[in-house]
């Protein structure tokens, strides 16, 4: 079973444009994380936002968290062809040993 659901499932944009991906989840969490995966490889951690935070930035990444709506968004600004990958949100479940479960992912293609 998967805790989160990403939207859209696939996104295709031109280089230089911004990419926005959304994640919804179901239970109470301690934190929400975003990961990136290049085809056939392991996942790489991008950013972690705690349940008491509303927004966080890291380079060209901006993450927001709305715990009342149980949703998060990841914004990648000024996208590059090298950003082409799958992006997953993951939630650390509260009162469950921070059980870390993933959504189905958004497949991002950035065209040069």
Partner 1 sequence: EAEVAQSPRYKITEKSQAVAFWCDPISGHATLYWYRQILGQGPELLVQFQDESVVDDSQLPKDRFSAERLKGVDSTLKIQPAELGDSAMYLCASSPQGELGTEAFFGQGTRLTVV
CA distances from 103 to 1, 12, 71, 88, 108 (A): 9, 19, 12, 6, 15
CA–CA distance, 44 with 69 (Å, rounded to integer): 26
3-state secondary structure of 82: helix
Q: Which of 20, 22, 24, 30 binds partner 1 (CB under 8 A)?
A: 30
Using CB under 8 A as the binding rule, whether residue 92 contacts partner 1 is answered as yes
Q: Which of 67, 77, 102, 109 binds partner 1 (CB under 8 A)?
A: 102
Using CB under 8 A as the binding rule, whether residue 101 contacts partner 1 is answered as yes
Distance from the Cα of residue 64 to its chain's centroid: 10
Q: Which of 28, 80, 98, 111 binds partner 1 (CB under 8 A)?
A: 98
CA distances from 7 to 11, 41, 107 (A): 9, 22, 10
CB of 109 to partner 1, least distance (A): 14
Q: Which of 16, 27, 96, 111 binds partner 1 (CB under 8 A)?
A: 96
Look-up: residue for tokens 């993951």?
Answer: 90
Binding site for partner 1 (CB under 8 A): 1-2, 4, 6, 30-31, 33, 35, 40-45, 48, 50-51, 88, 90, 92, 96-105
């Amino acid at each position: 079973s998967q805790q989160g659901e990403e939207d859209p499932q696939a996104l295709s944009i031109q280089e230089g444009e911004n990419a926005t991906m959304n994640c919804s989840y179901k239970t109470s969490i301690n934190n929400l994380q975003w990961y990136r995966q290049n085809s056939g490889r392991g996942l790489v951690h991008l950013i972690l936002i705690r349940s008491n935070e509303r927004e966080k930035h890291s380079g060209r990444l901006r993450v927001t968290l709305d715990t009342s709506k149980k949703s998060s968004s990841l914004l990648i600004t000024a996208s590059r062809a090298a950003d082409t990958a799958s992006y997953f949100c993951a939630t650390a479940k509260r009162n469950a040993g921070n059980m870390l479960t993933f959504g189905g992912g958004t497949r991002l293609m950035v065209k040069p």
